[in-house]
Structure 1
Amino acid sequence: MKNRIVLLALIIALMMPAATLFAQGGEEAAPAADQTWNVRMPTAEVEGDPMTVWAREFAEYMKEETDGKFNIEVFPYGTLGENRDINELAQLGVVEFVFSDYGWISSFVPQANVLALHYIWPYENLPEVLDWVVRNGESFELMRAKFEQNDLVPFGIFFEGWQWLTSKKPINQLSDLRGLKTRVMGSEMLTRDYRAYGIVPTPMAYGEIYSALQTGLIDAQSQPMFANFSMGFYEVADHFVQLWAEPFLGIPAINKAFFESLPKEYQDLMVNYWLDKIIPSAEWVNANNERMRKEIEKSRPEVTFTELNDDQIAQLRSIAAKDVYPNFPEVGGAGSAEILDALLADIEKAKDALGM
């Protein structure tokens, strides 16, 4: 891993235009008023998927609002390494931004594992709840402090759809989950979530999932609808099962030292852009996911879609609360219990504020 990071750092350094390092004549960079920034933002998703779509819009926004002084080059999934790699690159400051998810970023900010706990979010009005929590909640401020301790600054939490269990085997009852070899993201918390239901969690890189399903190395995997479509997982797994346990959440972030080096007006542009996109981006995601589901149904009519009923959900929720939540601090680390308590309280406050 370290060798790969060093190699990536060297490649990126060689790619950097000289203007980003020095002003004309080889002197130090000009004052902020005259400076041009040329920076990088890798994402954890391929071209056309939510993180990359919104990263590109963010890049256009920053370029327009700064009269071309702030230029962001977006790198879709795989172009600068795997998902773990891009988070590490941002933490080290090799790249300035990253748009990742709660699963992979929790390897660098353990307290972010709170977002991987199952059955804590409401099914309805989730984007509005997220918007309230990020803008008003104590939990996001506590989480932001933990990110900053690990050299990152998060801009928000973004809904990208509910995770579907995409399986080669039919799942008609909860007992069918037992022994199901299922790929999950590289998060200890997610591993514990799924293991509690009798599933055999199998962390692996995003780019390895298709062949692992195809060859039978795994029985199933967990992804939002857009990923099942864009990565073609529906081609090698016939059964989609909605547990209603886990929303897929994205976290755009910036290297802390770089953020603090920027003019205040640029910092404000970034913070306000992402705050204002929490709800609109979710509306786009929901429409996009529905379109992709229809494409899957048209392409492979034999694919089945099943949603757990209320009794089944209640059983899994009870297991999560009894067997997973109490052990969360073992995974989340210092301050994580406080963050969980604050998040649960914030969710209830958000529901009250929204009249839910």
Structure 2
Amino acid sequence: MQMRNFMIGVTALGMVGTASSAFAETWRFGLEETEGSVQYSYAEEFKKMIEEKSEGDITVQLLPYGSWGSNYTALYDAIQNGSIQIGFGSGFLGGTVPESQLMSLNFVMPNDQLQTAQILNSDEFLKSDPWQQSFRERDLVPLAALPEGYQVWTANKEIRTPEDMQGLQIRVMDNSLLRKTYQAYGASPITIAYGELYSALQQGQAEGNIQPVFAHENMGFYEVQDYMIFADQSQFIANLIGNLDWYEGLSDEQRQTLDTTLDEMVQKGHDIQTQFNTERLDTIKEKSDINIIKLTDEERAKFRELAKPVRQVYVDLVGERGKQSLDILLEQIKQSQSGNQDS
């Protein structure tokens, strides 16, 4: 009898374990970048927090660049169809969500990078109807924004003025607004796959490049360029997006876990990119003799004037909803800067 009761108890425990595992979920998290990047470090922290808060009921599987394919559209398609639940979309996302090109506009965001992160993740912007609907109509939902540091130009010649950029074959992501922006500066923008960019720069197929500092170091781009130019014209911003059906199917508890984690990740994401870009710039300086140029306010002003008309180009490209999102963003920036002055 005791043996029978023991076996019943073992069976019951086994059934509990089976039931518990049946409720466990795996969130597949697609990244545009490789290990050793800002996105990967952000995703590692996100994974840790989600798994701890859910007490093991949710597992986050990280899928860095290359594990889902080499074409960014494949990543966005996978998020749209739900085979990947969550992921990042940056400049290339403009082909899927045209309004997302708002993040590519130059000389719009505050100079304070934490302030940028806070505004982009505020309810007033992130949860605004025009921004949400831009994604939801494509079976996606915008969950957060991750500024990854200022975009830095590299070239094989000194660039201080738009005249210096005339005709420069500078690589940009496959984003019509970015092409318009660099055409306004006088350059001849071209698009090359991220994985092929090093050899393209090495062989002269591209004459310039635009990346955050950590990417220049992580991919070794600085090894095949002579100059790094800091114009502080725009930050590289990745949108964290989710599959719409997946998001709407989350339980109240899962939604709460996700929301609180993303709130905490605003500061953590800023700290991650700050550390990465600071340390990687030091590494570049140590390992190379690349010439580093920081544009003066007067030099930046010339590029800023050329960039202003591109805001209307953005509106013309994407329509009224894009204009509404831009207006909301500019208003939030204005209010934030006004508040800082008052304090």
Q: Which residue of 2 aligns with 1:5?
A: none
Q: Which residue of 1 aligns with 2:56?
A: 68
Match of 1:112 among 77, 89, 100: 100
How far residue 128 of structure 1 moved from its aligned partner, in angstroms, is 2.4
Question: What's the RMSD between the two structures over aligned residues?
Answer: 2.1
Match of 2:181 among 181, 193, 211: 193
For 1:298 and 1:190, locate their aligned partners in 2 and report how far apart those are by CA, in whole Å.
31
For 2:115 and 2:133, locate their aligned partners in 1 and report how far apart those are by CA, in whole Å.
23
Q: Which residue of 1 aligns with 2:113?
A: 126
Task: Say yes or no: does 1:137 pair with 2:124.
Answer: yes
Q: Are the structure 2 counterparts of residues 112 and 311 from structure 1 closer, same or farther at C-alpha, using a change threshold of 3 Å?
A: same
Contact 1:182/1:218 (8 A) holds in 2:
yes
How far residue 133 of structure 1 moved from its aligned partner, in angstroms, is 4.3
Q: Of the two, which has the highest radius of gyration? A: 2
Q: Which residue of 1 aligns with 2:330?
A: 344
Q: Are the structure 2 counterparts of residues 49 and 294 from structure 1 closer, same or farther at C-alpha, using a change threshold of 3 Å?
A: same
The letter of the residue matching 1:56 is E
Contact 1:96/1:254 (8 A) holds in 2:
yes
Q: Are the structure 2 counterparts of residues 115 and 331 from structure 1 closer, same or farther at C-alpha, using a change threshold of 3 Å?
A: same
How far residue 251 of structure 1 moved from its aligned partner, in angstroms, is 1.5
Q: Which residue of 2 aligns with 1:287?
A: 275
Contact 1:139/1:342 (8 A) holds in 2:
no
Q: Which moved more, 1:216-225 or 1:325-334?
A: 325-334
How far residue 143 of structure 1 moved from its aligned partner, in angstroms, is 1.1
| Identity score, percent | 26
How far residue 335 of structure 1 moved from its aligned partner, in angstroms, is 1.0
TM-score (norm. length: structure 2): 0.89
For 1:349 and 1:247, locate their aligned partners in 2 and report how far apart those are by CA, in whole Å.
20
For 1:70 and 1:310, locate their aligned partners in 2 and report how far apart those are by CA, in whole Å.
48
For 2:208 and 2:235, locate their aligned partners in 1 and report how far apart those are by CA, in whole Å.
17
Aligned length: 325
Q: Which residue of 1 aligns with 2:78?
A: 89
SS at match of 2:230: strand
TM-score (norm. length: structure 1): 0.86
The letter of the residue matching 1:310 is D
For 2:69 and 2:105, locate their aligned partners in 1 and report how far apart those are by CA, in whole Å.
27
Q: Map 1:163-174 to 2 at 5 A.
A: 163-174=151-162
Q: Map 1:296-315 to 2 at 5 A.
A: 296-300=284-288, 302-315=289-302
Stretches of structure 2 that go unaligned for 5 or more consecutive residues are 1-13
For 1:184 and 1:70, locate their aligned partners in 2 and report how far apart those are by CA, in whole Å.
37
How far residue 118 of structure 1 moved from its aligned partner, in angstroms, is 0.7
| Shift >4 Å, 4+ stretches | none
Q: Which residue of 2 aligns with 1:320?
A: 307
How far residue 168 of structure 1 moved from its aligned partner, in angstroms, is 2.1
Q: Which residue of 2 aligns with 1:333?
A: 319
Stretches of structure 1 that go unaligned for 5 or more consecutive residues are 1-23
